[in-house]
Structures are given as structure tokens and as C-alpha cells.
């Protein structure tokens, strides 16, 4: 079966200064973390631009450029760590797993299924980090583990790999992504205040800034196995659907921040942290079909490229609900490198940061409308009993997805 045809997207691009209306206060220290941005301006992104990025006929993605200079250094360093983590001994990786949090903290590999055929996904490994520290350096996971025992994936403390500098780099880059997400959220708020009846002013920005359930996922797509090996299977990647690596899905939160992917030839540049953290980055994927794809509103497949010096933000289902459908969640998928393309052993590393409501008091504070219109305490209690497998596979009703959120 040949791969479906696709076109290349031209996403909407805005600068950080436009989002912040030119008011920029870099490097304000907040406790241990370095907040790279301080938000002061109202933003100058036109409503028409936001509608073009997130509206009913959009690709559901906006690219933010002109980031702080430190972004490039942090991106290279953190994405290199993904290869270093994946190359740790198997016994070390097992010790970094967190079964108690449903493998949604620390190292996780083979715990999800590929939607294409239901196989366990061993094509990529992930390192999950709870970003509650963003709201307070004293938090290491959302508060309330004793009151909400069914949400360990958010209340569990982080597990850090035995790699010097990883924790600081991860926290700093994720904070930068959340800072930028808050500015995108502010622009969404301005649009929603003018176009969504009853919308609470500043709601989405408040969510992004104060949520303790924001989750980061550092992804490592392993180099594809050589052609014809047992690991590759009888059907080559070339013959599978484009979305065979990470099935088509919607993110469930508000805004998902994405870095561009780093491609590393791990044969030419083996991960050896004793020599250096930063790995040599390829100019691009040797396989031109590797990368992020979006299904547009007419069902067409569109390949989206994120510039190396930029961040992209995708819409999730919660944002669609919050704006009562004015902004649409975007179906998307990722394809890794195929075997035999470009030679070497090329891995793909990237970072996704999922912002979402503070679920533990979701039914009390997280609705922009009054009264809440799609949840009740009784249903809330029912949702909490849903199985772990359902959570991981993402087979939730829309409302459930808002509560739990996708990590893909
Ligand atoms: Fe996703």
C-alpha cells in the first residue's frame, strides 16, 4: 500500500513580540527557576490571524518565532539528553519507570499501543515530567495525592535520570515553553472575549499559568531497525500507512507546545555523555516523510514543518470546548524515520508540553462559563473509575479526554 499523498503546510507565524505587544522583560529570576519572559502587554496579534491559525478552516497550529536567545541552547541540550536517556542500560531504565503513575512519569517505552495495528509501541521511548514546579518550586507533582489517589500520573513526584544537568535543563526549557503558551493563550482570550458569549476574561491564560497538571514529554524515536530484520516485521514501514508510528489523534488539553525535532545519526555521533551532552544535529531528516502531519478540516494530509528556532502550539480538545468550537482541535500524527533511508542510525528527538486545566479541582474552578455545562460531580466520580488501559489508549469520550488529556 503506498503512502497517502500529502502537501506541505504553511502555518501561521507570529513573533513573541507580537504576542507580547513589544513589551519584553527577559531573565527575571523566580525562585530557582529562570522565567525567561515576563508578560506585560496585551498582545497585537489580530483576531483574523488567530482565526487563520486555530479557526474552523485552520490547521490548528501557530508557529512562534523570535524566542529568547537561550532557547536554541536549551533545545539542543534537552533533545540531546533524549538520546542519552534512551541509551542508558536496560536496568537503569527500568529503575526510571513509574508503574504507580501508569508509566506517565519518568521513562516509558512499550506501554502504549500503535493505533495502526494494536502492537505495543516500542518504536519510541518517552520521558515524562510533571510541570507543577512551574507554579511553585515546592511542588513536585500536583498537590492532593492523598485526596485524589486515582490521579497518580499528575500527583506523582518526578523521577530524574542519573544525568548531570538534565533536571535543570528540562525545567528551564519547559518553563520557557509554558511562558510562551501563556502568551498564545492571552491572544486566544482576547479573541474569545470578543466572540464567545459569556467567556470569562483571561481564563485560558490563567489556566496555562496556574495549572499544576501540565505535562512534558521528551520523545526519542529510536533509529529504525535494518530492513528485513525480525524487529522490522514482515511488512516494511514503507508499505504501512503514514501514521503507523504515532496514530492520528487529538491532543486533549488546551495548547500543546512543540519544539522542532532533532535528528541525530547515532552511528556517526554515538550518545556518550562522558564526552559531551550536545549531539551533532543533522540538517534535517534523511527520510523526507519523517515528521509531524496534520489532517486538515477537509481530511487532507498536510506535513507541518517547525523551524528549528521556533516553537509551535497546537490546539487541543479542551481549547475547542472552552471556545465553544470557535477554535478547533487538530488531528495529527507523527512519522519516524523509515529503515534504509539516509544510511546510519538516525533517531528523532523532540519535546511536547501539554497544558491543561487543573483537573483536581476541575469541577470547581476550571470552567470559563457559569454554570459548568458538561460536567457534574456524579459524572466526575464515574470518570475516575475508568481503566488505565483506556487512559493510555486514548479511547475516551470527549469529556473524559478533557479530564485526563493526551500525552502524545
Ligand atoms: Fe499529539
Ligand 1 center from residue 79 Cα (angstroms): 17
pLDDT mean over 169-187: 97
Supply the pLDDT for residue 33: 38
Pairing of strands 291-295, 332-335: antiparallel
User: CA separation (Å) from 164 to 76, 97, 141?
Assistant: 15, 19, 21
pTM recorded for the entire structure: 0.83
**pLDDT tens digits, one per residue of 35-61:** 444 445 667 788 899 999 999 889 999
Q: Is the pLDDT at 400 greater than 50, yes or no?
A: no
> For ligand 1, a single-atom ion, which residues have Cβ within 5 Å?
251, 408
Ligand 1 center from residue 333 Cα (angstroms): 7
Q: Has domain 7-404 been given CATH number 2.60.120.330?
A: yes
What is the rounded CA–CA span in Å between residue 20 and residue 31? 23
Q: Is the pLDDT at 123 greater than 80, yes or no?
A: yes
Ligand 1 center from residue 179 Cα (angstroms): 20
pLDDT mean over 274-292: 91
Supply the pLDDT for residue 97: 98
Supply the pLDDT for residue 333: 87
Q: Is the pLDDT at 23 greater than 50, yes or no?
A: no
**pLDDT tens digits, one per residue of 215-273:** 999 999 998 877 655 444 443 444 445 555 557 889 888 999 999 999 999 999 899 99
What is the rounded CA–CA span in Å between residue 22 and residue 17? 5
Ligand 1 center from residue 25 Cα (angstroms): 31
Q: Is the pLDDT at 359 greater than 60, yes or no?
A: no
Ligand 1 center from residue 299 Cα (angstroms): 17
Amino acid at each position: 500500500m503506498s503512502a497517502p499523498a500529502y502537501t506541505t503546510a504553511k502555518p501561521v507565524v507570529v513573533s513573541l513580540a507580537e504576542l507580547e505587544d513589544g513589551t519584553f522583560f527577559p531573565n527575571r529570576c523566580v525562585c530557582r527557576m529562570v522565567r525567561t519572559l515576563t508578560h506585560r502587554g496585551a498582545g497585537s496579534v489580530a483576531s483574523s490571524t488567530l482565526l487563520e491559525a486555530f479557526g474552523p478552516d485552520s490547521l490548528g497550529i501557530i508557529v512562534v518565532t523570535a524566542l529568547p536567545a537561550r532557547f536554541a541552547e536549551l533545545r539542543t541540550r534537552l533533545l540531546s539528553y533524549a538520546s542519552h536517556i534512551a541509551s542508558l542500560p536496560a536496568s537503569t531504565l527500568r529503575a526510571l519507570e513509574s508503574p504507580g503513575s501508569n508509566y506517565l512519569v519518568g521513562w516509558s517505552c512499550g506501554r502504549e499501543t500503535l493505533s495502526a495495528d494494536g502492537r505495543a509501541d516500542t518504536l519510541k521511548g518517552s520521558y515524562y515530567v510533571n510541570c507543577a514546579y512551574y507554579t511553585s518550586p515546592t511542588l513536585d507533582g500536583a498537590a492532593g495525592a492523598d485526596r485524589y489517589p486515582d490521579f497518580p500520573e499528575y500527583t506523582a513526584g518526578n523521577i530524574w535520570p542519573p544525568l548531570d544537568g538534565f533536571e535543570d535543563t528540562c525545567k528551564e526549557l519547559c518553563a520557557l515553553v509554558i511562558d510562551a503558551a501563556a502568551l498564545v493563550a492571552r491572544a486566544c482570550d482576547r479573541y474569545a472575549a470578543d466572540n464567545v458569549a459569556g467567556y470569562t476574561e483571561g481564563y485560558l491564560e490563567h489556566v496555562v499559568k496556574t495549572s499544576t497538571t501540565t505535562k512534558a514529554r521528551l520523545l526519542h524515536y529510536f533509529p529504525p531497525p535494518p530492513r528485513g530484520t525480525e524487529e522490522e516485521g514482515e511488512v516494511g514501514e514503507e508499505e504501512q500507512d503514514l501514521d503507523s508510528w504515532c496514530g492520528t489523534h487529538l491532543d486533549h488539553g488546551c495548547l500543546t507546545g512543540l519544539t522542532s525535532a532533532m535528528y541525530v545519526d547515532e552511528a556517526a555521533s554515538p550518545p556518550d555523555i562522558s564526552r559531551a551532552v550536545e549531539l551533532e544535529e543533522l540538517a534535517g531528516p534523511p527520510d523526507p516523510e519523517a515528521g509531524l502531519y496534520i489532517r486538515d478540516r477537509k481530511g487532507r494530509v498536510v506535513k507541518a514543518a517547525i523551524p528549528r528556532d521556533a516553537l509551535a502550539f497546537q490546539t487541543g480538545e479542551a481549547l475547542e470546548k472552552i471556545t465553544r468550537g470557535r477554535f478547533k482541535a487538530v488531528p495529527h500524527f507523527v512519522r519516524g524515520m523509515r529503515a534504509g533511508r539516509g544510511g546510519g542510525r538516525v533517531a528523532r528527538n523532540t519535546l511536547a508540553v501539554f497544558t491543561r486545566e487543573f483537573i483536581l479541582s476541575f469541577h470547581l474552578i476550571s470552567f470559563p462559563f457559569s454554570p459548568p455545562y458538561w460536567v457534574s460531580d456524579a459524572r466526575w466520580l464515574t470518570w475516575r473509575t475508568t481503566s488505565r488501559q483506556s487512559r493510555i489508549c486514548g479511547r475516551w469520550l470527549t469529556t473524559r479526554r478533557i479530564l485526563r488529556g493526551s500525552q502524545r
